[in-house]
Amino acid sequence: MKKQYHELTAIADSSFVVKEHFLPYFNVPLHFHHAFELIYIVKSYGKFYAENRIMNFSEGDCYMFGPGFAHCFYNEQSFIDSEENAHSIVAQFTEDFLGPTFFAVPELRKVKKILLLSAAGIQIKEPNRRIVDLFAELPPSKGMQRLLILMQLLHEIANHPPEKIVPIVDIYQKNSLNLRDSEKMEAVVKYVMNNFREDLSVKTAASLACLNEAAFCRYFKRRTKKTFSQFVNDVRITHATRLLQDNDWSITQICYECGYNNISYFNRQFKNIIGQTPLEYKRDMAIEYA
């Protein structure tokens, strides 16, 4: 099992970290940092596990995570089978990397607000061309130029329309993750992500977490605020929303593709989680993208 607390390791001539990943698929396990992380998804799609929430992610998505925010990106099998490289650009920095009071100056008030919001994770919806270009300029830059690009990027994000700065989780429900938790949760989340189309077993999940079933159910509910069954339904319904947006499949086809074998139960779970029936959701998406 890889270590899930990721240290910030800057190169010798830099006070912060910039990484550009080209991988067959994202392979970093559920993890957290004691640093802020900005990430832009250039090419990839799949499921994004953040604290206790499951989301779809795709190319063009932009996120910022505060220290201690647990997260992991899982690629869809269809992306892996496409043999395309998952491509992302990441910047990581500590709050005091330019001095303990740097972000407290009046000129950076908006940036400081974004840093505070990122404790719950934020998605920067519909990043503008300037944000995308600044991400692209980070990897090849060096020294002072790289620092200025990072500050410009933070400035652009801080001035992005407020309605497009969307918290990922409720800050009051955010869990503190430790190494032991991350190891257990990584095994269980990966099991669900890889097998949600099949019948999933609480017994198998418990064994992956090295717990008996009763202890696992208590642990999982405490850690995610959901039962294991609720979590599985969240993953399946999240996948269904992607299929409803991206395919012309029938509701019945999507039901079976998401691991359900009863259309009535699928419709009921979809409405419980999304607030609409699958058909209503599909119609609304068609209008939105028309």
Q: Per-domain residue ranges for the chain?
A: 17-172, 196-288
**Mean pLDDT for back-to-back runs of 10 residues, the chain (290 residues):** 43 80 91 92 95 92 94 92 95 95 95 95 97 98 96 98 94 62 87 95 96 95 92 97 90 96 96 96 78
pLDDT at 1: 31
pLDDT at 252: 95
Query: SS3 sequence, the chain?
Result: CCCCECCCCCCCCCCCEEEEEEECCCCCCCEECCCEEEEEEEECEEEEEECCEEEEEECCCEEEECCCCCEEEEECHHHHHHCCCEEEEEEEECCCCCCCCHHHCHHHHHHHHHHHHHHHCEEECCCCHHHHHHHHHCCCCCHHHHHHHHHHHHHHHHCCCHHHEEECCCHHHCCCCCHHHHHHHHHHHHHHHHHCCCCCCHHHHHHHCCCCHHHHHHHHHHHHCCCHHHHHHHHHHHHHHHHHHHCCCCHHHHHHHCCCCCHHHHHHHHHHHHCCCHHHHHHHHHHHCC
CA distance 70 to 161: 26
Dig out the tokens for 80 from the structure: 């892996």
Q: In what order do the strands lie in the sheet with 53-58?
A: 53-58, 45-50, 71-75
Counting other chains too, the contacts that 7-10 makes at CB distance below 8 Å and 24 or more residues apart are: 7/33, 8/33, 8/34, 8/35, 8/92, 8/93, 8/94
Fold of 196-288: Arc Repressor Mutant, subunit A (1.10.10)
What is the reported pTM?
Answer: 0.87
pLDDT at 34: 87
pLDDT at 177: 59
pLDDT at 4: 42
Query: Which residues lie below 8 Å from residue 212, measured CB to CB, with a gap of 6+?
Result: 206
pLDDT at 228: 96
Contact 55, 121 (CB under 8 A): no
Q: Nearest-5° angle of CA 36, CA 41, CA 47?
A: 95
Query: For the CA atoms of 235, 114, 126, 143, what is the dihedral angle to 10 degrees?
Result: -110
Is the domain 17-172 a CATH 2.60.120.280 member?
A: yes
